[in-house]
Amino acid sequence: MMRKLLLCPTLGTTLLPAAVAALSLSGCAGSRPTGAGPSVGGAPTTQAGAAVVPGAPAEMQRLYRAMGLVAGAGTIPFAASVSFLRAPSTDSTLTLVALSIPSRALGFTREGERYAAGYVARLQLRQGATIVRTIEATERVRVPTFRETSRTDESIIWQQFLRLAPGRYTLTLSIKDESSIRNSSEEVTLDVPALATDGLTSPVPVYEAIPRQSADSLPRMLARPRATVVYGVDSLLPIYIDAVGTTSPSAVRVRVVGDADIVSLDTLVSLPQRGASRSTTIGLPTDRLAIGINTVQITAEGRADTARARVLVSLGEDVPIGTFDDMLTYLRWFTTPERLRALRDAEVGERAAAWTRFLQETDPVPGTAEHEGLRDYFGRIRTANIRFRDDGPVGWQSDRGTAFVALGDPDNIIDTGLIDPNARVRQQIWEYRELRVQLAFTDQTGFGRWRLNAQSRGDLDLAIRRKLQR
């Protein structure tokens, strides 16, 4: 099914080879430094039932699409952003397509002292039955350690700049792992705008950017396709503002609007002169942004248009939190009902302060920059989505997933199926010795759909309450 990708008419585009982790911008693909995220202006309609690999649940795809990103369906999850920048003439628009995949989606093999994997990235643009542009690149990724091969974050970025005539296109993006049959593709309708000489262009979330000097050159940048930062880990979200030409404004107003239309940031940013350009990179402070999806709005005095990009402030990789209420749902087994109620009852304008108090009260190691409790908790959610994906629609909300996320790994598991492999009904007994509880899960289907019995459900609720009160 083809979806329509709705993009802000003030956005702009560019073609650039993909970048490498050290932020050198040569080559066609590479891995990124730690920290992650993407951006596009506008929101596509969602496509239900998309198949994804463990670690990239359908909820993340829906969240990325709500941000206006292209989210690939298939066995290699990917997210891609499209941005529009000004070209030398108004009859073309510079379009940047940036795509990211996690390194764990590829099949790495040992190559001397390193690990290597290959993939094929393909981009095609059509107008009706006419193929306007096809780019196919075979890329090689090398990492120094085995640990790097299992990353689930935005670890590999492939990007291209193109100059396109304004109009409507069908954009198809696809990725294929060279060592297996794993692949993903997505097709969207893309409207490329005609950018006025005095108009604003896309604010582009980046890892790093070197501003261009004129409209006939390209900015050297490493885009942030997922436009995502992790709260408590990333302190700033860099945003590249591209302003070239004699009519470029000397300053712009930057507003960030979060959940419930709350303005979390409103500031005037000067754009310094650099040759024929006033392009620059600004850093949005993560602690000033709302948890979930935020809209960055760029305006200039005397200009009627507004440039927009959506960014995501996450509580962890692959944790699909789009709103404040989503966050509270995810925290249900992390803290007490009283603390959650304090967050839920906070006035919209007081949420940031309430969240800061919550972090201070629940941080198990206050002397460190990282909140180890939240890190471990959301790590268990991601693990549960993989380990218990057959137990229910969402692994962490299944019976075994609930016990694992709330209580951690059991001290011992007794599986009757190991004692009698021919038994029609299997049972697992999870023992938590410190909490003095045993939980009985039963699989009556033979397909690994484990369910708590009534007694154990009550025991689990009691164990969770006891643990949270400690």
299-357 tens-digit pLDDT? 998 887 899 999 998 876 667 787 788 888 889 999 999 999 999 998 876 877 787 78
**Tokens encoding 431:** 């023992």
For 312-326, b/e burial (b = at least 16 CB within 10 A) is bbbbbbbbbbbebeb
- The confidence score (pLDDT) of residue 36 equals 30
Report whether 106 contacts 155 (CB < 8 A): no
Report, as ranges of residue numbers, the positions in the chain whose pLDDT lies below 70.
1-57, 232, 316-318, 349, 369-370, 418-423
Tell me which residue of 5, 170, 193 sits closest to 95, measured CA to CA. Answer: 193
**Residue with the two structure tokens 């087994």:** 333
Map residue 254 onto helix, strand or coil.
Answer: strand
List the helix and strand counts (H, then E) for the chain.
Answer: 8, 25
Residue 430: name the closest of 408, 447, 461 by CA: 408
Q: Are 362 and 378 in contact (CB under 8 A)?
A: no
Instruction: Compute how many other C-beta atoms are within 10 angstroms of the C-beta atom of residue 168.
Output: 11
Which amino acid appears at position 452 of this protein? L
User: What one-letter code names the amino acid at 387?
Assistant: R
3 state SS of 404: helix
Strands 251-257 and 263-270: antiparallel
Q: Where are the domains of the chain?
A: 3-314, 324-468
* 208-212 long-range contacts, CB within 8 A, separation 24+: 208/23, 208/238, 208/281, 209/238, 209/240, 209/281, 211/240, 211/242, 211/274, 211/277, 211/279, 211/280, 211/281, 212/242, 212/244, 212/277, 212/279
